[in-house]
Chain A
Amino acid sequence: MTILDLSEQALRSVNAELQSLNGTQSNAEYEIINPRGSHALAVGLNAPIAVKIAGSTGYYCAGMNKHATVQVAGSVGPGVAENMMSGMVVVDGDASQYAGATGHGGLLVVRGNASSRCGISMKGIDIVVQGDIGHMSAFMAQKGNLVVLGDAGDALGDSLYEARLFVRGSVASLGTDCIEKEMRQEHIDLLNDLLARAGVDADPAEFRRYGSARQLYNFHIDNAQAY
C-alpha cells in the first residue's frame, strides 16, 4: 500500500503517480490521505489498481475511470465517475449532482444519497444508489442500469433511451416518455447480479422497473406538446 498525501503532494503529482501504471496489469494499492475536497482526483486511471481516498473529494473524482477500483471514504462533489468506461467506484457517503454522468461502463456504488441528475446521459454504466436520488435523474439515459434502493425525485428518466431504471422506494414523478414496465425474471436476475456486485443486501422483488415508452424516438408533430 502506497500512501499519497495531498497535504504534501500537488494534485498533478498524485494523479501522475496513479496514471504511471496506465496500460499495465498492475494490482498496486494506494491510499490518498488529506484529499481536502480536491477536484479531479484519481481521474484518467487505466489499470486494475485499487485506490482508497481517505476523506471527501470535490468535482469529477475518478472521472473517465478504466479498470481501477476507487473507494472514497467520504462524500464526493459533482460528476463522480463521469464518463467511466470500466472498473468500480464506491462512495461511502453521499454524491452531489451528475453522479456517473455519461458513463459507458463499470459500476458506481453510492452508499448514501445521490443528488440531482444522477446517471444523466449514461451510456452503459451501472449505478447503484443505496439512498435516494434527486430530480431529473437518468435524463436522456441511453444504456446501462440505475438501481435506487431509496426514493427518486421528480422527472425520473426524462427523454429516456434504452437504460433500465429500478427503484425500490417511491418515485416523485416520471419524466417525459418514461413509463413503468413489467419486472420479468431476466430483470430479477439482472438486479440480483448488480446488488451482489455492489455488496448490497436487498430483495430484487421489491423493486419496480422503469424504461422508455419509445414514443419520442422519431419526431412526430402530434407529440410536440411533450417537448
Chain B
Amino acid sequence: MKDHDTGTPRTEPRQSATFSNDINAEIRRAAATGIYDIRGGGAKRKVPHFDDLLFLGASISRYPLEGYREKCETAVTLGTRFASKPIELAIPITIAGMSFGSLSGPAKEALGRGASMAGTSTTTGDGGMTEEERGHSDKLVYQYLPSRYGMNPDDLRRADAIEIVVGQGAKPGGGGMLLGQKITERVAGMRDLPVGIDQRSACRHPDWTGPDDLEIKILELREITGWEKPIYIKIGGARPYYDTTLAVKAGADVVVLDGMQGGTAATQDVFIEHVGQPTLACIRPAVKALQDMGMHREVQLVVSGGIRTGADVAKALALGADAVSIGSAALIALGDNDPKWEKEYNALGTTAGAYDDWHEGRDPAGITTQDPELMARLDPIAAGRRLRNYLNVLTLEAQTIARACGKSHVHNLEPEDLCALTVEAAAMAGVPLAGTDWIPGRGGY
C-alpha cells in the first residue's frame, strides 16, 4: 500500500489478534445492551479434539478383520454394577438429555423414534417426561435434575434408567435456563411455573450436598424403584478424575462425562467458552479413576461433547469409554441449522450453521421452539428416520475403523491403536505424538 499523496510505501492495515473483529463486535454489543450474550450450543472456540488423533490401523503385527465378512460387535450394556435391569443397547451411541421446553414435542418424539429404530436410548431433560418421548422411546433415561421440574415417582418407575445430573459440559457449575418466550402454557404446567417468566433453574440439587449425601440420595432412588434401574451420574468436564471417583464412591452404575463442546439450550456465552475442559482432556483422567478403583468396565463410562462422526465414536471408545452420547449432532440430523432455511436465518441476523439463539424460540427448523407454526415444520417420522440413518452411519464408520485395527468388538479398541497429531492432543489423550514414542507428561523427555 502506498500513500495517496506521496506514493511512498505505508504499513499494511493490521488487525489485532487480541482485539479481533469478533471481540470488538462483542464489546460494541455489550456497550449497547449492558447484558451478556446468551446462546445455545457448546464451545465454538477451537480446542484439541478427536480430529487431532489418528488410528494406526493394522500392520504386520496386527491382523485386520475383513470389512464385509467378519463380525465387529457394537452392543453395550449399561448399568451392570447394581441395577437388576441394566440397559442393553445395540450400538454404543446414545441420545443425550435435552429438555421438552427447549425442544418441541415433535422434536422429542423424533429423537425417540430415531433412537429406538437404531436400538439405543434417549434421555429426558430439565422439564420432565413427555408422552411423546416415552411413547416413542424403547429405552428412556429419566434425568434427575436440581430443578426437579415434573419429577414424580410414576415417571421414575416407567423410566429405563435414572440420570442424576450434577453438571454438564457447556456449563459445569451452572443451572438450566429457559427464557420466557418458550414458557408456554404446556411447558409452564409441566414445570409448575407461571407462563412467560424467565426460568432459571437451580445449579445445585435442593436436598443433597456433596458425595456423602449423594450416596444416600442414590439409595433413596433405588429403594423407590426397587433397585431395578441403572443410576447414571452426569458430570461436566471440570475435574474428571475426582468427579468420577466420587460418583463411583456414591454408588453410580454409569458415569456420563460431558466435555465443554457439549451443548446447552441456553446460557451465557462467556460460561460456554471459558468454563470446563475439552472432551479430549477429560476421558483419560476419568478412565484412570475407574482403573485405579478397579471399576473400569464395571461402572460404564459414557462420553459426550462434540461427537460428530464414527471416527469420534471409535476414538472415544479407544480411550476407554464404553459408549458415547450425542446431542448437537442429533439435532443437526433432525434438521437443525439446515441451509434450506437460509433466508430465514438471514432474517434473524445469522446464517445456517451459526444459528444458536435457541432460547428465543424462533428456530426456522422448528426444533428449538414452542411456536406451533414453526413446530409444525418438523415431521417427527421423517426426522426420526434421518436420526436413525445418521446413527447407523456413525456405527458403520466406527466398525470400519475397529475392523481395520483388528477388533471384533468396538470395545476392543484401545489407546495403543492411536497416535496424536499435536503435542497438546498427545498429552491430553495419553497417546504418542505421531512418528514418535513420546507421550507428553509421561516422562522420558
Find out whether the CB atom of B153 lies under 8 angstroms from the CB atom of A59: no
A17 to B258 Cα, complex, angstroms:
39
Which residues of B are found within 8 Å of A39, using beta-carbon distances? Answer: 216, 219-220
> Measured between alpha carbons, how far is A44 from B156 in the docked complex, in Å?
10
CB contact between B194 and one of A82, A121, A123, A217 (< 8 Å): that residue: A217
Contact of A64 with B152 at beta-carbon distance under 8 Å, contacts A15-B223, A161-B194, A221-B34 already known: yes
Asked whether, in the complex, the Cβ of B217 is within 8 Å of the Cβ of A12, the reply is: no
Say yes or no: is A98 at the interface (Cβ < 8 Å to chain B): yes
CB within 8 Å for A60 and B216 given contacts A43-B223, A142-B193: yes
> How many A residues touch B, CB cutoff 8 Å?
41
- Report if A63-B226 is in contact (Cβ < 8 Å); known contacts: A78-B213, A121-B206: no
Q: How large is the interface on B (under 10, 10 to 19, 20 to 34, 35 or more residues)?
A: 20 to 34
B192 & A63 in contact (Cβ 8 Å cutoff): no
Of the candidates B148, B154, B216, B220, the one having the most CB atoms from chain A within 10 angstroms of its own CB is: B220
Closest Cβ of chain B to A35, distance in Å, is: 14
Q: Tell me the bound Cα distance from A64 to B154 in angstroms.
A: 10
Shortest beta-carbon distance from A220 to chain B in Å:
9
Q: Tell me if A63 and B220 are in contact (CB < 8 A).
A: yes
**Given A11, A66, A79, A117, which contacts B153 in the complex, CB threshold below 8 Å?**
A66
Cβ of B185 within 8 Å of any chain A Cβ, yes or no, is no
Q: Report the Cα distance A97→B208, complex, angstroms.
A: 9
User: What residues on B are CB-neighbors of A102 within 8 Å?
Assistant: 148, 151, 206-207
Any chain A CB within 8 A of the CB of B408? Answer: no
Q: Which of A200-216 contact B (CB under 8 A)?
A: none
Of A12, A19, A58, A83, which is in contact with the most chain B CB atoms at under 10 Å from its CB? Answer: A83
**Bound Cα distance A85, B213 (Å):** 22
A78 near B207 (CB under 8 angstroms)?
yes
* Cα(A64)–Cα(B217), bound, Å: 12
What's the nearest-Cβ distance from chain B to residue A131, in Å? 20
Complexed CA–CA distance, A139 and B213 (Å): 20
A11 to chain B, nearest CB (A): 7
Contact yes or no, A11 B223, CB < 8 A: yes
Main secondary structure of the interface of B (DSSP, over half): loop
Question: A121 near B35 (CB under 8 angstroms)?
Answer: no
- Interface status of B370 (Cβ within 8 A of chain A): no
Interface residue from A16, A142, A221 paired with B35 (Cβ < 8 Å): A221
The CA of A64 and the CA of B202, in the complex, are separated in Å by 20
Residues of A near B224 (CB, < 8 A) are 43-44, 63-64
Asked, given contacts A43-B220, A217-B197, whether A104 binds B227 with beta carbons under 8 Å apart, the answer is no
The CB with the most chain A CB atoms within 10 A, among B147, B152, B207, B224, is that of: B207
* In contact, A85 and B152 (Cβ under 8 angstroms): yes
A5 to chain B, nearest CB (A): 18
A219 to B196, CA, bound (A): 12
Please list the residues of chain B having a beta carbon within 8 angstroms of any beta carbon in chain A.
Answer: 33-35, 147-148, 151-154, 156, 179-180, 191-194, 196-198, 202, 206-208, 213, 216-217, 219-220, 223-227
A-B contact pairs, 29 of them (CB 8 A): A12-B223, A19-B226, A40-B220, A40-B223, A43-B220, A44-B153, A46-B154, A59-B216, A59-B220, A64-B153, A64-B156, A78-B207, A78-B208, A83-B148, A85-B152, A97-B207, A101-B207, A102-B206, A102-B207, A104-B192, A117-B206, A123-B148, A123-B192, A140-B202, A142-B192, A218-B196, A218-B197, A219-B35, A221-B35
| Chain A residues at the B interface, C-beta cutoff of 8 Å | 11-12, 15-16, 19, 39-40, 43-44, 46, 58-60, 63-64, 66, 78-79, 82-83, 85, 97-98, 101-102, 104, 117, 120-121, 123-124, 139-140, 142-143, 161-162, 217-219, 221
The 9 closest A-B pairs by CB, nearest first: A44-B224, A40-B220, A102-B148, A98-B207, A217-B197, A79-B207, A64-B153, A123-B192, A101-B207
Beyond the given A78-B213, A102-B148, A140-B206, please list 10 additional residue pairs across the A-B interface where CB-CB is below 8 A.
A19-B226, A39-B216, A44-B224, A46-B154, A64-B224, A78-B207, A79-B208, A98-B206, A161-B193, A221-B33
